[in-house]
Structure 1
């Protein structure tokens, strides 16, 4: 790892890097789910309102997204605690 750092500093730096990488993975998932929900649900032209089916689809998609996000966060936290 980086020279000149104590073992404690190296571990702290490694933990920081892992946390930032986990944040980046979550952010990437958010972008992927946003794209997926939009592509799946928005089928008509964009107007001032969503269509009834589009609104329900987006709501369900977002709910599944939130469920998935919570699962990811929980798993990442479990992994972090194991370290």
Structure 2
């Protein structure tokens, strides 16, 4: 197998980092789905009752709010570090 040169490695590094971020995000979404499913769905069936639907909706809302808050805080930290 041919070895990669420094230029090749430098070119691949951002691609590898992006793939790692995608994998991390996917893992977080799967974990989140398991948590919400465990908290909200007592018995799986052919349809969701209103209580289960409301619970899942609230769980998703909390996840989105938390993700946005973390993203915003991270962006502020990056901005402060760049000044």
Same fold (TM over 0.5): yes
Structure 1 residue ranges (4+ consecutive) displaced by more than 3 angstroms after TM superposition:
67-76
* Native 8 Å contact 1:26 1:69 kept in 2: no
Number of aligned residue pairs: give it. 75
Q: Which runs of 5+ in 1 are unaligned?
A: none
Corresponding residue for residue 14 of structure 1: 13
State which of 35, 46, 49 in structure 1 corresponds to 2:44: 46
Deviation at 1:73, TM superposition (A): 6.5
CA RMSD of aligned residues (A): 2.8
Q: Which runs of 5+ in 2 are unaligned?
A: none
Corresponding residue for residue 22 of structure 2: 23
The answer to which structure, 1 or 2, has the higher relative contact order (CA under 8 A, 6+ apart) is 1
Corresponding residue for residue 3 of structure 1: 3
Q: Does the C-alpha gap of structure 1 residues 73 and 22 become closer, same or farther in structure 2, counting only changes over 3 Å? A: farther
Task: Give the 3-state SS of the residue equivalent to 2:33 in structure 1.
Answer: helix
Q: TM-score, normalised by structure 1?
A: 0.68
Q: TM-score, normalised by structure 2?
A: 0.68
